[in-house]
Amino acid sequence: PLASARVEPARDDDAGGRERPAMRAALIRAIGKVDYARALGGSNSGRFYARLGDTVAAMGIAQVRRSDGSGIPRGYVLMARAIGSAQIAELLQVPARIERASGDAEVVTPGRRTIEIAVPLVGPDGHAVAAARFAVPREVSMLGRRLLLLAVAGSTLLLLIVLLVLRRVIARLVLAPLARVEGHMQRVRASGSLSLLDEDGRDDEIGSLGRSFNAMLAQLKDLREQIEVQSFALGRSESAVAVMHNVRNALNPISTILSQGIRQPAPIDRATLDRAFAELARDDVPAPRRAKLVAFVTAAVDAEGLARDAMRGELQVGREAMAHVLEIIGQQQKQAHERPEVERVDVAEIVARNASIARYSQLASIAFSFPAGPHWAMANRVILSQVVGNLLGNAAEAIAANGTGSGSITVTIEEGAEIAIVIRDDGEGFDADRAPSLFQRGFSTRSHKSGGLGLHWCANSMTAMGGALALRSAGKGLGAEAVLTLATAEAEALAA
């Protein structure tokens, strides 16, 4: 087939279509080296590249057959076109050049701004005869990298914003309430006052923590008050035991003296002495007998005198022991009338603590009201609590004595030069002429009443704390009011 091949003249389009014999000869030599079967690869047509001296040509080859593609091939048609760097660059729209091949594989060399690609131009034998090298700008990659950096920066910024917002939310919803609880605990530890924490009405765990903390403080407060009352009662009991012990020790000599005096017999039998006197009165008693009787009577008189002197000495000892007993009792009475230790107390809180005495009274249904704000006075917390509790109990009994089954107790606190606690009830009241006898020891307006400290003790306790207690009533059936007066904490501080 090659013998019948016809080669058209080789022309250069860039040179104005002039014939180039050297290129024609090179083309003929290249055609003679082509293995057409391999170049076609079992197909009717194929393509490859060939080097024609310094020029690279793109060649296309096809078998010559009938118009319907049947029959035995009668030859080949081969067309060649010289290609250059300018054509490649124009087609690719990027800078390109044709250079000698360094291998049969594509070579990709990435750069910072471009990617250089070397594409082998494969000849008919499957090996590269040249390579087309061109550089592709990495605009898409740069854009993707910028987008990635922008996405990373945006995500980082968003994360920082979320963390900042989360920090502020945690600080407001968690840290601030916990700091408030901790600060209240520090104040409780520093001052010892078990005042409750102000609750903010939250229903979450922080709110539950605050409510549990307040419940714990309330329990501690109740326990402290119970301990104070028990300590006060225990102190009084121990004081009474000590007084009784000292009184018993002082009374022991008196008891011994009285016991010995009762058991000791008379120094001389009175009947014998009377018989001796009667016998001495007779004139017929012999002289020796009279002398014996005189000696007996003299001895009896001496014995009686000695016994009288001994008794006088024992009575002197007993009198001294009794004086010791009176001294012990007098000292105890003096201590009982001494002013107890007072401190700055909230009288409103003490009234609130004793409110259950009236509010939960089983004698009647009682409406109870009292001031909520703090009012500070100088008093003994335990004693004032017992006085207020006793007065509230008396008011509840007075309401029950009316027989209506219900009533009210109102407590007001008035502050001025002194602080006054006024406890009003609408109970049975009392006649004004009975007011002086209300503070007498053991006096009560109700014969069936039992228990309580008594108004006598309440009045004495208020006096001992530097205050006073007064009772007033408009008359029987018109209720009554008890007025407790104490020094204010500010006045006490100025006096100090």
Dump pLDDT digits (tens) for 207-263.
888 888 888 888 888 887 777 667 666 666 766 766 676 676 667 667 777 777 777
Does one domain contain both 69 and 17? Answer: yes
Q: Tell me, yes or no, whether 105 lies in a domain.
A: yes
Is there a contact between 456 and 469 (Cβ–Cβ < 8 Å)? no
Q: Does pLDDT of 377 surpass 70? A: yes
Residues 349 and 316 in one domain: no
Count helices and strands in the chain by DSSP H and E runs? 13, 16
Mean pLDDT over the full length of the chain: 80
Query: What phi, psi does 75 have (nearest 5°)?
Result: 160, -165
Q: Are 378 and 496 in contact (CB under 8 A)?
A: no
Quick check: is 63 in a domain?
yes
What is the reported pLDDT for 81? Answer: 87
The answer to whether residue 472 sits within a structural domain is: yes
* Total domains in the fold of the chain: 3
Q: Whose structure tokens read 């509230």?
A: 392
Residue 447 has pLDDT above 60, yes or no: no
My answer on whether 349 and 489 are in the same domain is yes
Q: Are 184 and 176 in contact (CB under 8 A)?
A: no
Please check whether residues 110 and 27 belong to one and the same domain: yes
Share of the chain above pLDDT 90, in %: 11
CB burial readout 293-330, b (16+ within 10 A) else e = beebeeebeeeeeeeeeeeeebeeebeebeebbeebee
pLDDT value at position 442? Answer: 61
Which backbone phi and psi does 438 adopt, to 5 degrees? -70, -30
Q: Do 332 and 347 fall within a single domain?
A: no
For the whole model, what pTM was predicted?
A: 0.42
Structural domain containing residue 287: 244-337
pLDDT mean over 304-332:
77
Tell which of 103, 136, 169 closes a domain.
136
Dihedral of alpha carbons 136, 137, 140, 141, sign: positive
pLDDT of amino acid 449? 52
Residues 330 and 397 reside in one and the same domain: no
For 340, which DSSP code? P
pLDDT given at position 414: 92
Q: What's the CATH code of the domain at 358?
A: 3.30.565.10
Same domain, 440 and 381: yes
Tens digits of per-residue pLDDT, 45-84?
Answer: 888 888 887 888 888 888 888 777 677 777 888 888 888 8
What's the Cα-to-Cα distance from 440 to each of 215, 434, 456, 457, 467, rounded to whole Å? 42, 11, 6, 9, 18
Say if residues 23 and 52 touch (Cβ distance below 8 Å): yes
For residue 165, the model assigns a pLDDT of: 94
Q: In the predicted model, is pLDDT for residue 5 greater than 50? A: no
Query: Do 472 and 355 belong to one domain?
Result: yes
Domain match, 359 and 479 both? yes
DSSP H helices, 7-84, are 21-32, 36-40
Angstrom distance (rounded) from CA 227 to CA 232: 8
Q: Residue 2's pLDDT is what?
A: 39
Distance CA 484, CA 471 (A): 9
What pLDDT, in 10s, does the model give residues 342-356? 889 999 988 887 776
Q: pLDDT tens digits for 133-148?
A: 888 887 766 777 788 8
Number of neighbouring beta carbons within 10 Å of residue 164: 10
